[in-house]
Structure 1
Amino acid sequence: MRSLVFLVLLGAAFALDDEKIVGGYECKPYSQPWQVSLNSGYHFCGGSLVNENWVVSAAHCYMSRIEVRLGEHNIVITEGSEQFIYSDKVIRHPNYNSWTLDSDIMLIKLSKPATLNQYVQPVSLPTGCATAGTNCSVTGWGNTMSSTADSNKLQCLEIPILSNSNCNNSYPGMITNTMFCAGYLEGGKDSCQKGESLSMDRRNKKEEEGKKEEEEEGEKEEEGKKEEEEEGGKKEEEEEGEKEEEGKKEEEEEGKKEEEEEEEEDKEWKYLMKFEQQS
């Protein structure tokens, strides 16, 4: 399951007239079923379906009336998987600043619920902030070259989340606490698009967590076995010690018996000697 970790790539904020995915590839058809195309007679922005009634996108993509196209792969042909639904409400974040692009986020309420199927599915919302170095996928219909022609087929690109320090160094004085960066500092792969989604595959994280849990369980089992062996060894030592103590006790008792027998013999000898002397 994928989780939407960011909605508008930072690059879009500073290159709005150069929409493109550079270094990406064509997505497997319908592998990103939450991806939507925002239309006003033409594709102008992307967005992400978060449930059957709502889409999230960038506030700088605002139009008062938007046609939301779901289930798309090739946006210039009809493939039979599409759903076209108009917006009922378009709501920009109240703190959105068109100059700094702070709080650049927007909600679109659909005029009717989307039909969820193999082509149309919502993306999971994040439960926390992704850490620097986490690989994420950015998807959208961008320009794959420097020309103005948009890519017709949905494009994918894997990029890492950057640290706040690298982000601020790249865009000094431009980063607010509502933003973070993703991409490669050396260039070559980037996305300068409007409203496209940046998502993280939580299954990989769960698999890694599962592996870690298995390793921890294995370590616990090994520790448990070691403790059992140590306890078993201690028990054996204690039993051997008890046996030695019992053996010593038996020897002492036998020694006492021998001493008592010797004392009895001495008494008998003394009595006999005394009897002989008297007779």
Structure 2
Amino acid sequence: MADNYETEKTFSRRGFLKMSGIATGSLVAGTYLGSLLDTNESEESPETETASEDSGQSNEQAAPQEDYTRAYKFFSKADDFKTIEAASERIFPEDDLGPGALALGVGWFIDHELAGGYGVNAREYMKGPFKEGTGFQGPQYPILRKDLYMEAIRVMNETAQENHEQLFYELEAEQQDEILTQLESDELTLRGAKASDFFEELRLATLSGVYSDPLYRGNKGMQGWEMKKFPGAHMSYINEVEQDGPVELETMPLSSHAESQE
């Protein structure tokens, strides 16, 4: 339940990181969402993050570079983007064990995925008739994910304004949890889909962004992997397979292999 993310201490993030069923390894070569990677990182955006500048650094150090991966590809309004960032942070919040979804860049991961095949259900059959599916079939409706997200954002912000006269991302954590719980339990109504289906979609997208390869814009600094002690995208373990005892490997992203071949 959404209201248990921080208050239920009996199942801490440490337990989650050790026991979660997320197949982290499968997120290395491709994300759960399965969209195609857009490698054009130079396009302009309404908002671009720049690296912080240290006034005391020497002239020999390279000037900070703009991070063009932090550029909107799907969202056109900052309020919409911040709403998804805030919701994902409540699903995977920061605590004393490590960063949350916000610091890990999950919002950017979701933004880039929605701009690709994931947003238009490219790998799914989307023809009618649309009937209520079984528990093994998942959602059965014609709405595309990009439209589902925008509809949910509208409902979340309208609910926040009606109850608190603020947008969702401006609310206190407990107030945000109330709205997420309403989504999860279908107490809110979305046009074209069940609110609980969106909540599950967002939960899975959030975890995918936490544990995917940084190439896909989430898991910033490989901190998601570090929390699970996952070594990343090693292509082979031939030198370690016969070693006795635990083996510690340097965490390696996919991009390191491309660099090694240049």
Same fold (TM over 0.5): no
User: Hey, which of these two has a bigger chunk of helix by percent?
Assistant: 2
TM-score (norm 1): 0.23
Greater RCO between the two (CA within 8 Å, min separation 6)?
A: 1
Larger radius of gyration between Structure 1 and Structure 2: 1
TM (norm. structure 2) is 0.24
